[in-house]
Structure 1
Amino acid sequence: MILWIVIRPDHAVSALSGGKDFTLGFFRAWFIYAVGGFVVFCLCVGALPISGRIILGSDDERPEHSTAAWLAMIFCAGIGAGALIYSVSEPLSHLTVNPSVIDGSMEANTVANASRALSYTYLHWGLSAWACYTVLGLAMAFFSYRHGMPLTIRSALGPALGKFYDGPIGDVIDVFSIFAIIVGIATTLGYGMGQLVYGVHSITQLPFFICEGERPDLIWQLVGLALVGVTATVSAMRGGIKWLSVLGAWLFLAVLVCFSLAGQSGDSLVRLGGSLWSYIGGLPINATRVSAPDGSELGQILATWQTDWTIFYWAWWIAFAPFVALFLARISRGRSLRSFVFGCMLAPVGVCVIWFAFVGGAALDVQLDPEATVDLQGVVASAQIYETIRAIARPGFATYWSAMFVALLTLLMITTLNAGILAINSIAAAGAETRSVPVHVLTWGFAVTTMIGSLIFAGGTDAVRNAMIVGALPFSFVIALSGICVALSLMMELRRRWHADRQGG
């Protein structure tokens, strides 16, 4: 597929775009109901009284990592880079168009609509996103650490596969997972490299980082990718993702503090409360409502918005699940089911909500300010965050602030690629621990980095994104089946403990 994109990019983009349109159109209801079901499943498992007593490992096992380091790795490897890339562009987009604007209940580009714009951002980056990761990660960790199965994707379906576990069906699941991980990472890093190069241009003001149309220069994107790829591979070989994640978490906090101090923090706090209430109150409806074309112009516009945003995000999180879920399972041995579910859902969601409220909120304040000297909605997406910093900070400090943001973006892309390499390596080795064989990590690091570079060079990032969405459809059934396997196993565990308690009594 990569050779096809590199050699015939126009043909590949056209064909894969057709596949994407079919997937997002025909299976729109399935994506909505599946992701909504994942959220309900996770909350129910976390609320079970027994979930606090079932350990992912032996009953007396203790966690390998401290809680702070564990949470830092969860966030930095899961959504960290994406939260930076879309921190400004998505709220600004929803300020202009969202379902409330489309149906006439809100007016575009107004202060009242700013809270609604953030609430739709929370919809896409909140519980639904992390539920996709948590269901699959919980299944892998449960069957691997408590039932002795290898830590790989097929283990999540072990009870369902039965005797076919070690056969071609299990092999196909694992191989397809590697494909999904590669295209998911390629999409994220492909978008991230553009923002990284533009950030360097914003700091240095050197013209050769940018080409016509304010687009980041291709050569410098490849240079940035090489830097990220080499660092991530070395880190994967040395086991350095924990320290990179902790450093990234502290830098993330520093950038967030800068936005909270330089922006209109009072307005941001008020907007945070309003948008969070709107998100939570509207979640049952927004997470289950399917906006299908009904022949009217309004119905068509609502369906198009939901396809372009909500269903696209659901497909993206599902496609990203093999990589993030495996990483979550790898670092969570010794945790209880409840701590795994709530740690992998509530903690990162809380960070995302605060991040978008202050960072995206600062951009909304600039856009709504009639005296502002910049129209952020008229700036290319890669530059919006840096123009926001320039608008709210003094010129000298804005340079240091932008440099800090670039360093954070680089760190989070390194941790994302690092975790992806480890996940691919584990799946390719049938779940065996192979970090003692550096050549395996080196091979995958070089291969994945080269693939991503080839796609950026050929302009095939959009084609890979479309392939990722198409691949999300079958994997959504894998996640759903893994949740069913966990539910059945927990029922058996409850029955076993109930019988043991009766016999003991």
Structure 2
Amino acid sequence: MAIRPPLEELNIKTHDKGFYKGFNRFVTVTSKIFVTLVVIWILSDIERSGAMLDAMKNWSYANLNGYYTYSIAFYILVCLTVILWPSFGRIKLGSDPNGKPEFSNFSWFSMIFGAGIGIGVLTYSAAEPLWHLMNNPDIIMSKEIILSSMSSNGIALPQGADVFAFYQDQVAANALAPIDNLVIPKSDEALDTAFRYAFFHWGIGAWATYCLVGICLAFFAYTRGLPLTMRSALAPLFGKHLEGPLGNIIDVAAVIATIFGVAQTIGIGLSSFASGLYSITGISWLVTDAVNPEPTTGALLMSLLVVMCLSMISALSGVGRGVKWLSNINMVLSFLLLAFFLIFGATMFALEMLGKGIFSYVIHLPAMAVTVWDPNTELGAWQTSWSIFYWAWWIAFAPFVGLFLARISKNRTIREFGLIGIVAPSLTLFVWFSLIGGTGIDLELSGIANGKIFDSGLTAQLFEIIGFMLNPAMAGVLSSMVVVLLLTYLVTSADSALLVINTLNAAGEVQVENGSKHIIVWSIAVTAVVGALILAGGLDAITSAMIVAAIPFSFIIILMAISLLKALILDIARARERKL
């Protein structure tokens, strides 16, 4: 029995006149109604809505640790399979054998990095290695070993005492035998683990998720000729049923996940942006207090208005102009900042951490990718607040980044898309974390910072590091460059998201007659969502909403992966049939 030919036509209904001409009204209107109801619900009772969002986040942490962990592991496995399998990897994402990519490799990579997690790296490259140096699963397990040894020797931990300091005192007093292979906070042993976990969160797990969605969309849009929208990636599973309500629901879920995924990224960026403004200007109303400066609600809302106005202008200019040029600018500024740390930072120490961190990450990746701890334990609490938070963030961000990557990757092969889209950003991020985070760690371990970097807020630690490296005048100049870089990353992420939302609403069409008007509407909508969440609880409320919004789309990505594998396997079978 001959294998049926693949589906190469999907008729998604769009309106033919008026404001919604060229748009699928069900997807567009349903998404707007949902966003409007969320904003009204939050603003009608800010305190209660914030508490409910937090409760939903805690429920997902308590019940979905395993689901999120195994989902990301599955995405990695499928993505690597389609990239490395010879007959899959050589497939061109385009119907013209002689077609050329629209963007140069530099612009392409700049847009991948800028739209992906450019904002987050500015914050977390400084902060995350520092935090993991003080606490991570290896340190927690070492603490448990010490407590068990103390218990078996009849030694009680005094109330409020630090476990590791008390253990070292007991060893010095010969009351307790030394224990091998412990990982002590802020020790040499903790350095390898600190960078391993930072690389784990920002490496292949994130980029395999993005690239899996991007490859699915690009394959079905450019190779099969289906619309560039989320439902098309499920064509081998559901066929023509995707033209109706089922397809509409899938695209609505993608729009909602995109909004809350980009809200998380914008929220972190706004917090860092406001911290940078305070570092430069010293304006008191930007932060809650000078001792432990955290951005005020007013500072976050002001920054939000500036960013979204600029993002709307950039999105209206299109991918080939505003988005492309902003991506190129922030990539140049990023390399300048990285060059500064390479020349003036703790370079040798950072390069040593880079090598050791990558080796440790690669060796431990298979085990880390499938490890799930009980959320009621200290290990589980760490996993939910770090790993599960990141997995939800990458999943919520995946429809936006995946569709954007597909949009800019026509006429590249699956292997080129995947290898460059995973390896290049991951290695770039590892260098960032090693140079910037390593310099911060070196300043602390050498005693120069005297705990001030450790004690500062997550979004302010980069500026604290710069403050210790340079005199006040030069620190102000470099901090100003970082603030500009943050702004360009914020605008790039937000304008790319606006274009993606428009594409999803327009049944995969990039250019639509009323597209500019809808970009303006969605700019206002995204601003309203982020602003309402800031009022409901700041970054915590944004994180809670993002984690909840990621749940339905995580299941859609699983279906997309199965759909892609089915399509590629059937294509091989069809090719064999033709040879017989």
Interval containing the TM-score (normalised by the shorter chain): over 0.9
Deviation readout 1:384-432 (Å, 9 max, x if unpaired): 1111111122333211111111111110010000110001111111212
Of 359, 364, 367, the residue aligned with 1:285 is 367
| Equivalent residue number for residue 569 of structure 2 | 491
Of 197, 208, 211, the residue aligned with 1:131 is 208
For 1:202 and 1:234, how far apart are their aligned partners in 2?
28
Answer whether contact 1:318 1:476 (CA < 8 A) is retained: yes
Q: CA deviation at 1:456?
A: 2.3
Answer whether contact 1:319 1:469 (CA < 8 A) is retained: yes
Letter in 1 for 2:491: I
Answer whether contact 1:237 1:435 (CA < 8 A) is retained: no
For 1:35 and 1:326, how far apart are their aligned partners in 2?
18
After alignment, is 315-324 or 458-467 more displaced?
Answer: 458-467
Of 122, 139, 154, the residue aligned with 2:231 is 154
| Equivalent residue number for residue 296 of structure 1 | none
For 1:459 and 1:102, how far apart are their aligned partners in 2?
29
1:70 aligned onto 2:108 = yes
| Equivalent residue number for residue 246 of structure 1 | 328
| Equivalent residue number for residue 130 of structure 2 | 92
For 2:436 and 2:43, how far apart are their aligned partners in 1?
36
Of 190, 193, 200, the residue aligned with 1:113 is 190
Aligned 1:248-267 pairs, distance under 5 A:
248-267=330-349
For 2:192 and 2:339, how far apart are their aligned partners in 1?
21
For 1:17 and 1:115, how far apart are their aligned partners in 2?
33
1:452 aligned onto 2:452 = no
- Normalising by structure 1, we get a TM-score of 0.94
List runs of 5+ in structure 1 lacking aligned partners.
294-298
Letter in 2 for 1:492: L
After alignment, is 415-424 or 335-344 more displaced?
Answer: 335-344
1:235 aligned onto 2:320 = no
Q: Which has the larger radius of gyration?
A: 2
| Equivalent residue number for residue 358 of structure 2 | 276
Of 8, 11, 24, the residue aligned with 2:48 is 11
Q: CA deviation at 1:153?
A: 1.2
Classify the secondary structure of the residue corresponding to 1:87.
Answer: helix
- Normalising by structure 2, we get a TM-score of 0.83
For 1:436 and 1:357, how far apart are their aligned partners in 2?
47
After alignment, is 14-23 or 237-246 more displaced?
Answer: 14-23
1:220 aligned onto 2:299 = yes
For 2:361 and 2:522, how far apart are their aligned partners in 1?
40
For 2:513 and 2:323, how far apart are their aligned partners in 1?
16
Of 247, 250, 271, the residue aligned with 1:170 is 247
- Over the residues paired in the alignment, what is the CA RMSD in angstroms? 1.7
Q: CA deviation at 1:136?
A: 1.4
Q: Percent identity?
A: 38
For 1:337 and 1:53, how far apart are their aligned partners in 2?
6
Answer whether contact 1:6 1:460 (CA < 8 A) is retained: no
Letter in 2 for 1:145: Y
1:411 aligned onto 2:488 = yes
Equivalent pairs counted in the alignment come to: 497
For 1:236 and 1:70, how far apart are their aligned partners in 2?
17
Answer whether contact 2:271 2:295 (CA < 8 A) is retained: yes
List runs of 5+ in structure 2 lacking aligned partners.
1-37, 143-181
Q: CA deviation at 1:9?
A: 2.2
Deviation readout 1:317-361 (Å, 9 max, x if unpaired): 111111111111111111111111112111111111111110111
Deviation readout 1:3-43 (Å, 9 max, x if unpaired): 22222122122222222222222222121111111111111
Query: Which runs of structure 1 show a deviation greater than 6 angstroms over 4 or more consecutive aligned residues?
Result: none
Answer whether contact 2:393 2:546 (CA < 8 A) is retained: yes
Letter in 1 for 2:307: V
| Equivalent residue number for residue 393 of structure 2 | 316
Answer whether contact 1:51 1:336 (CA < 8 A) is retained: no
For 2:196 and 2:90, how far apart are their aligned partners in 1?
35
Deviation readout 1:368-398 (Å, 9 max, x if unpaired): 1224345212112222111111112233321
| Equivalent residue number for residue 389 of structure 1 | 466
For 2:310 and 2:445, how far apart are their aligned partners in 1?
40
| Equivalent residue number for residue 336 of structure 1 | 413
